[in-house]
Amino acid sequence: MNPLQRVGRATHASRITICLVLLYAACSVPAQDEPPPPALAAPISVYNNWSSYDELSDNIPLTEALAMRELDELLRLKHAGVRFDYYMMDAFWFAPDGGYRTWRKPNWPNGPDAWIKKCRDNGVLPGLWFSTNTLVKIQAAPAWKDSLNTDGTAMSFFEGGFLPDFMNALQFWYDHGIRMFKFDFVDMTAATPADAAKMSKAEIRERNATAFREALRAFRHKNPDAVLLAFNGFGGTLDNTYTPLPFSDPTDLRWLEVFQMEYTGDPRPSDVPESSFWRSMDIYSDHMVRRFEQLGFPLERIDSTGFMVGKTGTIYYRAMHAWKGAYLLMMARGGWVNTIHGNLELIQGKDVQWMARAQSLFFELQGLGRIHTFGGIPGDAQSYGFGGVTTRGAVYVVVNPAQDVATIKLPMLAPSQPPLGPGRIQFRDAGFQPQLTGNQVTLGPGQMAMVGYGAYASPKYDFGIQDDVVIPRSIEPFSIAFQSTGPGSVQASVNPPMHGVLRVILQEMTPDGHLRRTWAGGPPNGANMAKVFALSATQAGRDIPIKLDYDKIVWSGMSWALGEIDTRDLTPGIPLVIRFHSSEKDPVTLKGTAYLVEY
């Protein structure tokens, strides 16, 4: 069926939209031209100011003063050798009544011109975030209203005037110097009441996806240097790490025809319990990258969004905790959009040079070689890693997410790769000393390390020890039997060990045995997970200290609790009583395990 036949069968509103999109495409590029390749020509470095402010899981607003302060910090880091190619202005820069064409007042009294100019004057290309076809802190412009769905929360892409007007807004900002566009909160189920009544959900999704993809294709024809990023709404089950493939919200490789990158979820704890909350977050991002790779996405086109440092609820007030491991993993995952989110003023002193060195190494591995994955699936607590190889050697970043000591084989990454030769541990967590023998490395429970071979085994590539993630030097199972004491509550009584640290893990599950996450909200009204998942211990009625690292307000939910009891706080020979209670309202079962560890 040719385009005119399709128009003839559409509704009146649909005919207007399709004709305008086809006209936009026809005016942009001669019909015989092939579209430019959507993949990036080389890896890039991006600063995104989200998590230096947070208007979703916190109440810190985006202002011109904040955005310009972070630009000054970006330029400080850039002058010290940290590479930045783009500055992404994230959510809620726009005026609610401006149809994405005006900036919010009083937060931006002078509009964006000074920010755009200062970026471009300093060799940094600016970018903008859009909530795309959903009304998130924005009102429906007059041209959008005949595209609205029944409850007035989103606009159809294939009906009415929304899509042509939205594409005109994108062109408006491109003409004003914007070169990166982030599309978030997409709703492919949006349809006007008339079409929702007569079309299936599958047909609506396909019509929306086709209309938007073709409009973006035309936009890219006209503006081939624009970088387009796909975020929430383009597929993927992103809220946990226990869902098997295929995702309930399917991904679609056709989006790679128009987007340079597709995202895999904001950082959050995985469903793999770890003594370091931040390591469990590393595992979440690693897992999502592996899942998207399994679905056919090239690593270069996957945006893990895995590195955020900041002072807001979106990042659980992380500041700079365990940031070095998170940064190396973000770079090692192989995505060609390498993004630093958050408060750049936190990166000071020697950390600046450390970051610049890490960038230099992994841009070489990404650009001159190719990143590969190996090992098991992170969410299944199987050892895994990412490896990069060039003619100069190879670098492996490996993680053991399990509660044991594990030996991981480092595979050859390319048919032409030379023998590994002597290698060197170039980065590790504190505590357990990894052992490297040939192409095998032994890691402690929950440990991450980086190994270099060839030129990358030089002390020049030594990135040190991450002191704020401490891995036990030994671990062994400890027998424990929890008994139910009521809905969502269990208790165990054990004879205390004579030495070491007792690590206790509780996992929340549905009655049929699947992992279950509990969501307790974000700041300012969310509950601390240490109260939602209450883990306590007593001995002869005396409260015993328990070391927790999950005692945070976690907007993204959790399925586990982990606490450690130091035997130096215990009296030998007196039973230790451990209790756990979940505030989850739905029926759950609780699985408890324990380990004796030595630090």
The confidence band for 290, taking pLDDT boundaries of 50, 70 and 90, is very high
- 3-state SS of 535-573 is EEEEECCEECCCEECCCCECCCCECEEEEEEEHHHCCCC
Whether the CB-CB separation of 441 and 408 falls below 8 Å is answered with yes
Whether the CB-CB separation of 508 and 515 falls below 8 Å is answered with yes
Answer whether residue 16 shows pLDDT above 70.
no
The confidence band for 9, taking pLDDT boundaries of 50, 70 and 90, is very low
Mind listing the domains of the chain with CATH numbers? 3-42+83-281+291-323+331-347 (3.20.20), 476-598 (2.60.120)
Answer whether residue 22 shows pLDDT above 80.
no
Answer whether residue 71 shows pLDDT above 50.
yes
Whether the CB-CB separation of 92 and 55 falls below 8 Å is answered with yes
Q: How far is residue 40 from each of residues 82, 263, 468, measured CA to CA in Å?
A: 20, 15, 35
Facing residues of 49 across strands? none
Q: How far apart are CA 54 and CA 61, in angstroms?
A: 6
Residue 446 φ/ψ region, left for φ over 0, alpha for ψ in the -120 to 50 degree band, beta for the rest: left
Answer whether residue 155 shows pLDDT above 60.
yes
Residue 35: predicted pLDDT: 56
The stretch 47-53 carries a mean pLDDT of 98
Q: Which long-range contacts (CB under 8 A, 24 or more apart) does 59-66 make?
A: 59/523, 59/524, 60/311, 60/312, 61/92, 61/107, 62/89, 62/90, 62/91, 62/92, 62/93, 62/104, 62/107, 63/107, 63/108, 64/107, 64/108, 64/109, 64/110, 64/114, 64/115
Which amino acid, 559?
S
Q: How far apart are CA 255 and CA 471, in angstroms?
A: 41
Computed over every residue of the chain, the mean pLDDT equals 93
Answer whether residue 412 shows pLDDT above 80.
yes
3-state secondary structure of 182: strand
Burial of 9 (0-12, 13-18, 19+ CB in 10 A): exposed
**Residues whose CB is less than 8 angstroms from the CB of residue 275 and which lie 6 or more positions away in sequence, other chains included:** 446, 503, 549, 562, 564
**Percent of the chain residues past pLDDT 70, beyond the cut:** 94
Taking alpha carbons only, the member of 186, 65, 49, 63 closest to residue 126 is 49
Whether the CB-CB separation of 146 and 160 falls below 8 Å is answered with yes
The stretch 248-263 carries a mean pLDDT of 96
Q: Which helix (H) or strand (E) holds 46?
A: strand 44-48
Q: How far apart are CA 492 and CA 576, in angstroms?
A: 8
Whether the CB-CB separation of 16 and 161 falls below 8 Å is answered with yes
The stretch 283-294 carries a mean pLDDT of 98
Residue 6: predicted pLDDT: 32
Predicted confidence (pLDDT) per residue in 274-288, tens digit: 999 999 999 999 999
**Residues whose CB is less than 8 angstroms from the CB of residue 286 and which lie 6 or more positions away in sequence, other chains included:** 304, 306, 329, 333, 378, 384, 386, 399
Residue 5: predicted pLDDT: 35
Q: How far apart are CA 426 and CA 422, in angstroms?
A: 13
Whether the CB-CB separation of 104 and 95 falls below 8 Å is answered with yes
Predicted confidence (pLDDT) per residue in 100-128, tens digit: 999 999 999 999 999 999 999 999 999 99
Answer whether residue 14 shows pLDDT above 90.
no
The stretch 279-304 carries a mean pLDDT of 97
Per the structure block, which two tokens stand in for 366? 């990404």
Residue 417: predicted pLDDT: 87
The confidence band for 524, taking pLDDT boundaries of 50, 70 and 90, is confident
Concatenate the DSSP letters of all residues of 214-263 into one string. Answer: HHHHHHHHH-TT-EEEE-TTSS---S-S-PPSSPSS---GGGGGT-SEEE
Say what the pTM is.
0.93
Neighbours of 282 (CB within 10 A): 29
Strands 423-431 and 474-477: unpaired
Residue 418: predicted pLDDT: 83
Answer whether residue 25 shows pLDDT above 60.
no
3-state secondary structure of 463: coil
The confidence band for 3, taking pLDDT boundaries of 50, 70 and 90, is very low
Q: Which residue has the tokens 């590790």?
A: 428
Predicted confidence (pLDDT) per residue in 181-229, tens digit: 999 999 999 999 999 999 999 999 999 999 999 999 999 999 999 999 9
Predicted confidence (pLDDT) per residue in 80-99, tens digit: 999 999 999 999 999 999 99
Answer whether residue 410 shows pLDDT above 90.
yes
Residue 36: predicted pLDDT: 58
